[in-house]
Structure 1
Amino acid sequence: MSIEQNIRIVKDFFAAIGSGDERRLLALVAEDVEWIIPGKDWPLAGTHRGHAALANVLRKASDEVETTYPSPPEFIAQGDRVMVVGVATGKIKATNKAFKDDWVFAITVQNGKVAKIREYIDTQALARASERDASGLA
């Protein structure tokens, strides 16, 4: 596929996430998709494989995190890789703590489908926003 086609697939993938259209989203990703979200001490960290895991992590994100994107992301591509650079702001719902996250997604497109996603995010900002005090309160 061309670089332009790969960028279009990734843009469509982000649009499907934003619209909450799970069927459209899953049509854009490989059956064995792998999404790596780094970090610990916050709800979404881990390696998520396959359609069911992808749908689950996106539902969990919707349930646990309020996120806004103050400006459109930048898309940079070479070969089958598309880098998406952006910033997110929001809060962790359980703690009501705000965060700002400058992020990069490294996305591999194979055979016209999103095959691998690796996030590079501010894990410390997200972990801090997820922290509760010793009593379990935010």
Structure 2
Amino acid sequence: MKDFFTAIGRGDRQALSALATEDIEWIIPGEEWPLAGTYRGHTGLADLPDTASRSMETSTEPREFVAQGDRVLAVGFASGKIKATNKPFEDDWIFAITVRDGRLTRIQEHIDTLALARAAQRDASGPV
């Protein structure tokens, strides 16, 4: 898990792919902020760091890992800003991660979607 978060922080697409199964699914909830959606396979996984770096500046810190069987819960904190609006955000998060044969196969984020949507909102006229 620590290698996974290090690879995310570096935007290291090759390391992320090496840590994940071919059929990985990464689900990021929400609708009104740049990273919301479901990313599938190594292609989706490779696109995520690029999408993130184009749309936001962020620093994420995993603070705790809880493992049971093939599941790992990573609990952490992120802060940053949405580039299009220059608005900051803070986000406590939990990643529910499923591991198969030592590789990540599913990531379900549980995040503060309202904080991220508010940071992505340009003005009273609506979201980015």
Q: 3-state DSSP class of the match of 2:49?
A: helix
Taking only the aligned residue pairs, the percentage that are identical comes to 62
Q: 3-state DSSP class of the match of 1:73?
A: strand
Task: Answer yes or no: is the 8 Å Cα contact 2:56–2:81 preserved in 1.
Answer: yes
Q: 3-state DSSP class of the match of 1:24?
A: helix
Larger radius of gyration: 1
- Tell me the distance in 1 between the aligned counterparts of 2:44 and 2:26: 9
> Alignment partner for residue 50 of structure 1, among 27, 41, 45?
41
Alpha-carbon shift at residue 134 of structure 1 (Å): 5.3
Aligned position for 1:12: 3
Task: Answer yes or no: is the 8 Å Cα contact 2:62–2:74 preserved in 1.
Answer: no
1:95 matched to 2:85: yes
> How many matched pairs?
128
> Alignment partner for residue 121 of structure 2, among 104, 107, 131?
131
- Tell me the distance in 2 between the aligned counterparts of 1:78 and 1:114: 14
1:60 matched to 2:48: no
Q: 3-state DSSP class of the match of 2:85?
A: coil
1:111 matched to 2:114: no
Query: What is the RMSD computed on CA atoms of the aligned residues?
Result: 1.8
Q: After superposition, give the CA deviation of every residue in 1:90-134 in whole Å (9 maximum; x if it has no partner).
A: 100110000010000000000111000000000000000000125
Q: 3-state DSSP class of the match of 2:48?
A: helix
Q: 3-state DSSP class of the match of 2:51?
A: helix
Task: Answer yes or no: is the 8 Å Cα contact 2:98–2:105 preserved in 1.
Answer: yes
- Tell me the distance in 2 between the aligned counterparts of 1:53 and 1:17: 14
Aligned position for 2:20: 29
Counterpart code for 1:41: E
- Tell me the distance in 2 between the aligned counterparts of 1:72 and 1:82: 12
- Tell me the distance in 1 between the aligned counterparts of 2:83 and 2:63: 24
Q: After superposition, give the CA deviation of every residue in 1:35-69 in whole Å (9 maximum; x if it has no partner).
A: 00001111111111111111112210111111123
Runs of 4+ with >4 A deviation: 134-138
